[in-house]
Copies of this chain bind each other. A is one copy, B any other.
Amino acid sequence: MNIVVAQSGGPTAVINSSMLGVYRQALVEDTIGTVYGSLNGIEGIIYDRLVSLNDRIVTDEDMALVRQTPASALGSCRYKLPDAAKEPAVYESIRKTLESHDIGAFFYIGGNDSMDTVNKLSAYFASVGCPIRVMGVPKTIDNDLPLMDHTPGFGSAAKFIATSMAEIIRDATVYDLDSVLIVEIMGRDTGWLTASAALPRLCGESAPHLVYLPEAEFSVDAFVEDVKRIQKESRTVIVAVSEGVEIDAAGDFRSGKVDNFGHKYLSGVGKALEQIVTDRIGCKVRSVELNVLQRCAAHCASATDVCEAEQVGMAAVRAAVAGETGKVAAILRVSDAPYAAEYTCIPVGEVANKVKYVPREWIAAAGNDVTDEVLAYVRPLVEGEIPLLTECGMPRHFVIDR
């Protein structure tokens, strides 16, 4: 049989490493022939836009380039599969493409929505007696998939955030004056990435001094008092805040509101806190959004994450070869120090459309900081660097024309 792999959802630094894992495991499986890549997620299967990875990933150098290339080399989509009962034609298009290429297993690398697709499609195939296996490979910087220790993509994002935070601490503390520096971090619903901003404390930093996750309540008054209190000891106060924190008292700044020119307010929580500091404290203040680099800064990828992303892709292929379907490969932590993990497969229905939050007991009671437990959890996931192949001083990237 042949197999097909597709990538979905937002970019990460290692989603291509998972594709590579699927490809490399297939190379050693006697029962697998060609490995196809589907362009733009499942849309490439619906519309029969497949490319042969065997033709494109040929040398060891190709593999090294795939590993260091961020975002989906095969392209992505935000397509949500409709219910089979309502729109069976979509399912039949998928089946037709797969059967026409003699494909026996489909591997979908993605986050929550993609696991929903794996769930629906594998159930449909079972219901119509189609033997094609459908497997999920987890991927999300948000680390919000349940029943697995963590998700590939999170470690590299956390490493970039922690590294950037350490550098921003250096940057923000050069002047001898009172100031506040606010760093806004991705994660609308969960605070895993924002918690990672506190990792520099493992290297002896006292900053960031305040850390706000969407899992805890936020109080503007308590924030202002906290800043004033910390400023007595440390003239520069550094704040990490999740983009998902709700700031009721500053609701004017949230998206959706329009100003008197009819323009939407473009600013997020970082700018809102900046304005609160200006209004109520009055010292120098700056906010920084780490923005899309959090999910695509592969030049700062975690070697642990790169390796695990590949391993989890391999695990999915091994499971499919063993006859599994409707499951998602998962990383389980065996020990913290030395760090060790193993791979398993979980029924995808137990993962799809569910969210893993930072436990409340890993957040300070006052809701303004994280505990040492979360740092111990994240630490091994950011370990290690991969050597980069460069050209003209920039990392080289692997590109598939779409």
Contact = CB atoms under 8 A, between A and B. Distances in A.
Contacts of A70: 167, 170-171
Given A75-B174, A392-B202, A263 B292 contact: no
A241 to B, nearest CB: 15
Contact of A77 (B176, B204, B396): B176
B263 A166 contact: no
Contact of A171 (B296, B299, B394): B296
A72 B291 CA distance: 25
Given A72-B174, A267-B266, A397 B288 contact: no
Contact of A384 (B78, B202, B296, B393): B393
Interface of A: 7, 11, 40, 43, 69-72, 75-78, 159, 162-164, 166-168, 170-176, 199-200, 202-204, 252, 259-261, 263, 266-267, 271, 274-275, 286, 288-293, 295-300, 302, 304, 379, 382-385, 388, 390-397, 399, 402
Given A77-B175, A175-B76, A259-B259, A162 B271 contact: no
A21 B164 CA distance: 26
Contacts of A392: 199, 202-203, 379, 382-383
A135 to B, nearest CB: 21
Interchain residue pairs A-B with the least CB separation, the first 7: A382-B393, A171-B296, A71-B170, A76-B174, A167-B296, A202-B392, A383-B393
A200 B394 CA distance: 8
B69 A397 contact: no
Contacts of A399: 204
A43 B379 CA distance: 39
A157 to B, nearest CB: 12
Contacts of A204: 399
Contacts of A299: 163, 167, 300
Contacts of A292: 168, 171-172, 286, 288
Contacts of A385: 388, 390
B275 A164 contact: no
19 contacts: A11-B171, A11-B174, A40-B176, A71-B167, A75-B174, A163-B299, A163-B394, A168-B296, A199-B392, A199-B394, A204-B399, A252-B261, A252-B263, A266-B274, A289-B291, A290-B293, A302-B393, A379-B392, A385-B390
B176 A75 contact: yes
A298 B174 contact: no
Given A162-B393, A392-B202, A260 B263 contact: no
Contact of A174 (B71, B260, B263): B71
Q: Give the interface centre of A167, A288, A384 by most chain B CB atoms within 10 Å.
A: A167
Contacts of A75: 173-176
A46 to B, nearest CB: 12
A300 B299 CA distance: 8
Contacts of A167: 70-71, 293, 296-299, 395
Contacts of A274: 266
